[in-house]
């Protein structure tokens, strides 16, 4: 008997049915980027205005003006980075990894957008360049991960029983303090240059970083941003473990696999031409007040 029902040929059995994406745009939706527009922006002439080097096992926060382009690079070879993004003028608006994962993919690349949290829900950046796009390993892992989050000293304590200050969560916390932010503002990250996936038991796995000195991940800033990037203390993840007493770190070789990251900030030379058709992202115009009814004191 055919796997497709003879009574309803469009209805397939569970074994053959291919599920479609749960989130897809309706006509007029701003969910997906205009590829022609962002390809034009990516190809436009731009001028390098600032370069920031991030030392191994540390982090840096930098301001990125709206309508700028910033590029994350691995200038010394493979190195994983943990990325946080906020609206520069309102840190309550910040990158939302889970919704970005649902709207686009568990691993993002060119023309995907990094979305902000509720109630803002608008793109913080649009990805316009990615030399590693589509790279994967033999286990199905892919790069630029929204599945996992940053390493932190609390889960390390649970797993290894040790106190360790060199985690991306701690690095990011130190990096944002000069901007008036605290540990409570550090949020789930985009793991740039990191290969991850889910194994046959649906468990999270990580593989060694594939980036080379010439690789980059490039974004167009849709808003005035504060961007913080941590050079992961796990380095390129080719040799890592939980717990970090000095002898253990030296024995594992983790320090030898840790390298610097770089942020390059560019300005468009002719923004009027390059940004023709671009509009500043707006908040969704939801006015339902979550179904709450506010009664008058006269009632």
**Quick one: pLDDT at residue 17?**
76
Give the range of the structural domain holding residue 106, as residue numbers without chain letter.
50-64+71-270
The torsion angle over the Cα atoms of residues 165, 170, 176 and 181, rounded to 10 degrees, is: -110
> Has residue 188 been placed in a domain?
yes
Would you say 144 and 191 are in contact if contact means Cβ atoms under 8 Å apart? yes
Residue 47: exposure state from Cβ atoms within 10 A (0-12, 13-18, ≥19): exposed
Q: Does 58 reside within a domain? A: yes
Q: What is the pLDDT of residue 11?
A: 45
Residue 110, in any domain of the structure: yes
Q: According to the model, what pLDDT value does residue 256 have?
A: 86
pLDDT digit string (tens) for the chain, length 299 residues? 334 333 444 444 455 678 888 888 777 788 899 999 999 999 999 999 999 999 999 999 999 999 999 999 999 999 999 999 999 999 999 999 999 999 999 999 999 999 999 999 999 999 999 999 876 766 778 999 999 888 888 888 898 888 888 889 999 999 999 999 999 999 999 999 999 999 889 999 999 999 999 999 999 999 999 999 999 999 999 887 655 555 555 544 478 899 999 999 999 999 999 999 999 999 998 988 999 987 655 55
Instruction: Decide: 82 and 189 in contact? Cβ < 8 Å.
Output: yes
**For residue 2, what are the contacts with CB-CB under 8 A and spacing of at least 6?**
none
3-state helix, strand, coil in the chain (%, to 5): 20, 30, 55
In a domain, 296, yes or no: no
Per-residue DSSP letter, 32 = S
Q: How many CB atoms lie within 10 A of CB 217?
A: 27
Examine residue 221 and say whether the peptide bond preceding it is cis (omega within 30 degrees of 0).
no
Q: Where are the beta strands (DSSP E) in the chain?
A: 46-54, 59-64, 69-73, 81-87, 90-94, 113-115, 123-130, 190-192, 195-198, 204-207, 216-221, 225-231, 261-268
DSSP state at residue 147: S
Evaluate whether residue 124 is within a structural domain: yes
Domain count, the chain: 1
In-domain check, residue 290: no
> 48: burial class by Cβ within 10 Å (0-12, 13-18, 19+)?
exposed
Specify if 29 maps to a domain.
no
Is residue 44 situated within a structural domain? Answer: no
Residue 165 has a pLDDT of 81
Nearest to 116 by CA among 144, 150, 82, 85: 85
Asked if residue 51 lies in contact with residue 72, where contact means CB atoms within 8 angstroms, the answer is: no
What does the pLDDT read at residue 247?
A: 54
């Amino acid at each position: 008997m055919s796997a497709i029902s003879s009574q309803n040929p469009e209805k397939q059995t569970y074994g053959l049915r291919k599920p479609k994406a749960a989130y897809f745009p309706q006509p007029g939706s701003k969910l997906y980027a205009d590829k022609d527009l962002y390809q034009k922006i990516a190809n436009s002439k731009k001028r390098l205005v600032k370069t920031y080097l991030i030392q191994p096992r540390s982090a840096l926060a930098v301001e990125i003006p709206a309508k700028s382009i910033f590029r994350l690079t691995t200038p010394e070879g493979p190195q994983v980075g943990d990325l946080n993004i906020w609206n520069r003028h309102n840190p309550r608006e910040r990158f939302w990894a889970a919704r970005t994962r649902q709207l686009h993919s568990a691993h993002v690349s060119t023309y995907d957008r990094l979305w902000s949290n509720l109630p803002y829900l608008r793109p913080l950046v649009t990805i316009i360049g990615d030399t590693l796009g589509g790279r994967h390993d033999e286990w199905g892992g892919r790069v630029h991960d929204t599945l996992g989050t940053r390493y932190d000293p609390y889960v390390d304590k649970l797993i290894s029983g040790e106190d360790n200050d060199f985690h991306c969560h701690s690095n990011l916390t130190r990096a944002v303090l000069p901007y008036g932010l605290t540990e409570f503002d550090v949020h789930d990250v985009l793991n740039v240059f990191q290969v991850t996936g889910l194994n046959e038991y649906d468990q999270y796995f990580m593989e060694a970083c594939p980036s080379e000195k010439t690789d980059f991940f490039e974004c167009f800033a849709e808003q005035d941003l504060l961007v913080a990037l941590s050079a992961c203390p796990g380095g390129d993840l080719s040799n890592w473990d939980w717990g970090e007493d000095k002898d253990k770190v030296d024995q594992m070789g983790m320090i030898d696999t840790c390298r610097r990251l770089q942020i390059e900030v560019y300005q468009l030379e002719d923004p009027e031409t390059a940004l023709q058709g671009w509009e500043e992202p707006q908040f969704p115009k939801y006015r339902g007040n979550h179904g709450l009814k506010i009664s008058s004191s006269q009632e």
